[in-house]
Amino acid sequence: MASQQTPIPGNYYVNKTGQLIKVRYILYCGGDISHVILEYLDGHRMFVELDEWRWLDLTRYSDWYLEKESETEQGV
């Protein structure tokens, strides 16, 4: 499933394997987002086009955390 979220610099996202990824920068071309620069916790940076961003299937960390916390409270 493709991510439909707009990348926001400074926000953390979680991929399907549970890795935290931070949006470091957004590059614009003609007023539209063209590329996103991501940074993993180990410092590794990845430069992706907006189309690639959409297919990374990331979840905003705050949303992911709240969902996991809710599952824990429900005993799932």
Task: Encode pLDDT of 47-72 as tens digits.
Answer: 999 999 988 988 888 766 666 666 66
pLDDT over 70 percentage in the chain: 78
pLDDT at 59: 87
First to last CA, the chain: 23
- Give one DSSP letter per residue of 33-71, joined into a string: EEEEEEEETTS-EEEEEHHHHHHS--EEHHHHHHHHHHH
Reported as a pLDDT band with limits 50, 70 and 90, residue 15 is confident
**pTM of the predicted protein model:** 0.74
- Which sequence spans correspond to the domains of the chain? 12-74
